[in-house]
Amino acid sequence: MIVDWFNWLEHEKRLSLNTLFAYQRDLKAFLLFLKEYHGRDIELSLINKLDEKDLRAWFFSKMKNGVVSRSNARSLSSIKSFVLFLVKNKIIIHSKILSMKSPKYSSSLPRPLSTTQVEKIISSIKTNKNLWVAKRNLLVILLMWGFGMRINEVLSLKIKDIGNDDFISIAGKGGKERIVPIYLEIKKEIKVMLDITPFNFTHNDFIFLGEKGKKLHPSIIQKEIRRIRNEVMLPENTTPHSFRHSFASLLLENMVDLRSIQELLGHKSLSSTMKYTAVSSNKLKQIIDSSHPRSGKKL
C-alpha cells in the first residue's frame, strides 16, 4: 500500500525525489509513533479513525525533540497525501485530517549565493560532455541568477517569447506577464543552444527540452543542483530558487529601489519583495557607513 502511494506521488503527482523521500520518511515516522501512542499494531481501522488529536500529539512529540513548525507543516502534507491516496482508491471511506490546517510558521529568510559559489556551479555545469545539455543547464541557471526568474518561468519560455529587442516576455504566477530586459549575449547563447539541440523547433515550441524532446521538467535541474551541491560543498539549502534570491539580494546591495525589484521579480505585492531587505541589511549598513557624509561624525 505504501509502495503504491509512493509510485502515485512519483508518476502522477510528479514530486521531486527530495520531496518523495521526505514524504516517505514522514509517513514511516508517523506510523511508528501511532503504534507506540495507541499501543497496538497499525491497521486500516486505526488509519480510518485518525483525527487532529493524533496529529497534534505527534507534532508535540516532534517539537519536544527540537523539530521546527515548518517541518511539521510538511509532515502534515505527507500524511494528508497518504490518506488522500487511500480515499481516492476507496481503501478507506473518509478522514477528518484532510480538512486539518497546517501549523503556522514564520517565513525563513532567503539564502543568497555568493558570486564565487555561482562561479563554481557554472564551472561544474561546463564539465558535462554533452555540449547542448551543458549549454541548456547553464542558460537555465543564468536566467534565474541574472534576471530573477523562477525555475518554472524559465522552463516555460517559448521561442516566440524571445523577441528581436533587448527584452524578454515572461509568464509569471497566475498568468501575469512581465517584460524583463535581457543581455544580447544571453540571446545569442540561446540561439547557439537551439542550433546544436538535436530537435527541430517551431515558433511556439519550448526553448528548454529534455533528452526525449519534451519540455524540460524542473526535477532535472533540481537533480543537477543536488549533484553540484555535493560536488563543490555548497550549503544543503541550495536550490534553484536560491538563484532568484541571489538576484534580489545583489540588486539591494547595489541600492536598487524596492519598487523596481518588485517589477523585475514579478511580485504582486511589495511586501513579498520586502522580505529580501533583511538579507542585505548588514551590507546596506556597510554602504551607508562608508559613503554617508556624516558617517563617524558627531551630531
Options 135, 136, 229, 267, the catalytic residue: 267
User: Does residue 267 carry a catalytic annotation?
Assistant: yes
Among residues 62, 135, 136, 150, which one is catalytic?
A: 150
14 flagged as catalytic: no
CA atoms of 110 and 54, how far apart (whole Å): 33
Q: Which residues pair with 274 in a beta bridge?
A: none
**Region of residue 119 (phi > 0: left; psi between -120 and 50: alpha; otherwise: beta):** alpha
Say which of 13, 28, 53, 173 is annotated catalytic: 173
Residue 5: half-sphere exposure toward Cβ, Cα within 13 Å: 20
Annotated catalytic residue within 80, 96, 158, 241: 241
Residue 203 catalytic? no
Q: For this structure, is 150 an active site residue?
A: yes
Active-site pick, 244, 245, 268, 294: 244
Q: Which residues contact 188 (CB under 8 A, 6 or more apart)?
A: none
217 is catalytic: no
| Beta-carbon contacts of residue 109 (< 8 Å; ≥ 6 apart) | 275, 278, 279
Say if CB 166 and CB 181 are below 8 A apart. yes
Question: Which value, in Å, is the radius of gyration of the alpha carbons in the chain?
Answer: 23
Instruction: For residue 244, indicate whether it is catalytic.
Output: yes
Beta carbons of 266 and 178 less than 8 angstroms apart: yes
Q: Which are the catalytic amino acids?
A: 150, 173, 241, 244, 267, 276
